[in-house]
Chains A and B, each alone.
Chain A
Amino acid sequence: CTSLVAEDPRGNLIHARNLDFGLFLGWDMKNHSWVITEKLKPLVVNVDFRRNNKTVFKSTNFAGYVGMLTGIRPYLFTLTMNERFSLDGGYIGVLEWILGKRDGRWMSFLTRSVLENATSYEEAKKLLSDTKLLAPAYFILGGNQSGEACIITRSRTHSLNPLELDVKQGRWYVLETNYDHWKKPLFLDDRRTPAMKCMNQTTQTNISIKTVYDVLSTKPVLNKLTTYTTLMEVSKGNLESYIRACPNPCMPW
């Protein structure tokens, strides 16, 4: 996955993501594609969650999956999550759960609760940073004010080295793939470098929904695991998604 939040010169925040999933879950030799990735694509839906006939939040989901991976609380905040690998992983959390130790939260139920109940960027940030989890994760959160965006790197129990937008210091976007931002990504799977190269080449002056979509359409940021691309603008309350394909030659991940 690749998630990013960028601030344009007028202080608008753009939050976008490629959702990549299905690694090692079966390769279709004939079609040069991942089996599960291709099965997930037809399940992608955009959902408007309403209460009292008013939108509470909107999301891009896989039908049948009640948790949230990508969502917007219109005019308040935007949220995506990327997978994080750690030896202290989800299987330990699941084992604890089975053995009756149930003080952690299932990742996607937490993101669903945040989108459904939090009413501000700060509240969402606190919940995503402090709640104990069953599995490690990256939460990429955008607010509705200039400078409000961060990457929350979570272990099961802690938030590690939060990275915030800092436009004055020249950090006008934050970008997360699936590696801790203070470490180099695995050289076999470096999607961070090409994505940052294209963001820097775009420059803040030209950043927009369109040019962010260009970045997420550039291989290997776009790869055989990419199921959908979602673009969100909190100031307009807007979410749009597109199901992707990656024509050969294309990286398997």
Chain B
Amino acid sequence: QFVPPYTEDCRTEMYPPRGPTFQSAVTWYTVNLDSPPSKRWTEIITDKKDELVSMVQAIKDLADAFVPSGRLEELIDKALPMMIDTLPYPFNEEMKGIATASGVPLGEVILFNIFYEIFTV
């Protein structure tokens, strides 16, 4: 158990979650699908704005580490917003609302939402 891959004996009695492998519970929110798409995420993003800004900054730092000139970041902030209307409705409108509610540039919100496809690079 003390050499990689640190395979443990099967754990038991871990539930209800507590102790060193349990960091915290997860907050519940409601998203009203009858609301305009650009308004749906406002409550969540208002609560999580600082954490979202911090996470996006970490991705930007990573981009700068790969491309110190800052060109990659520039590309994200300039090029990605141009594709927003090629993305399916209502998700494009929801992303615009998230950018507005958080103050995070739209290109960076789009990057976060298509990260799965991008990350396969």
Asked if chains A and B come from one complex, the reply is yes
Kindly list chain A residues whose C-beta atoms are within 8 Å of the C-beta of B11. 198, 214-215, 217-218
Determine whether the beta carbon of B14 is less than 8 Å from that of A213. Answer: yes
Within the assembled complex, what's the spacing in Å between the Cα atoms of A210 and B2? 26
Determine whether the beta carbon of B48 is less than 8 Å from that of A215. Answer: no
Tell me the count of chain B residues lying within 8 A, CB to CB, of chain A: 64
Determine whether the beta carbon of B48 is less than 8 Å from that of A45. Answer: yes
Determine whether the beta carbon of B29 is less than 8 Å from that of A51. Answer: no
Tell me the count of chain A residues lying within 8 A, CB to CB, of chain B: 76
Determine whether the beta carbon of B94 is less than 8 Å from that of A43. Answer: no
Determine whether the beta carbon of B29 is less than 8 Å from that of A245. Answer: no
Within the assembled complex, what's the spacing in Å between the Cα atoms of A67 and B47? 19
Query: Which chain A residue has the least Cβ–Cβ distance from B98?
Result: A64
Is residue B72 contacting chain A, with contact meaning CB distance below 8 A? no
From 1 to 60 in chain B, residues with beta carbon under 8 angstroms from any chain A beta carbon are 1-2, 4-15, 17, 20-34, 41, 44-45, 47-48, 51-52, 54-55, 58-59
Query: Which chain B residue has the least Cβ–Cβ distance from A48?
Result: B30
A/B pair count, beta carbons within 8 Å: 204
Is residue A107 contacting chain B, with contact meaning CB distance below 8 A? yes
Within the assembled complex, what's the spacing in Å between the Cα atoms of A97 and B52? 27
Kindly list chain B residues whose C-beta atoms are within 8 Å of the C-beta of A47. 28-31, 44
Determine whether the beta carbon of B6 is less than 8 Å from that of A220. Answer: yes
Within the assembled complex, what's the spacing in Å between the Cα atoms of A105 and B7? 38
Determine whether the beta carbon of A219 is less than 8 Å from that of B7. Answer: yes
Partner of B48, one of A63, A106, A229: A63
Within the assembled complex, what's the spacing in Å between the Cα atoms of A135 and B117? 6
Query: Which chain A residue has the least Cβ–Cβ distance from B94?
Result: A66
Determine whether the beta carbon of A90 is less than 8 Å from that of B120. Answer: yes
From 217 to 253 in chain A, residues with beta carbon under 8 angstroms from any chain B beta carbon are 217-220, 222, 228-229, 241-247, 249-251
Is residue A108 contacting chain B, with contact meaning CB distance below 8 A? yes
B9 to chain A, nearest CB (A): 8
Determine whether the beta carbon of A39 is less than 8 Å from that of B54. Answer: yes
Determine whether the beta carbon of B86 is less than 8 Å from that of A102. Answer: yes
24 of the cross-chain contacts (CB-CB < 8 Å) are A35-B58, A36-B58, A39-B51, A43-B55, A50-B31, A64-B55, A66-B94, A90-B116, A90-B120, A106-B117, A112-B91, A134-B117, A214-B13, A217-B11, A218-B11, A219-B1, A241-B26, A242-B25, A242-B26, A243-B23, A243-B24, A244-B22, A245-B21, A245-B22
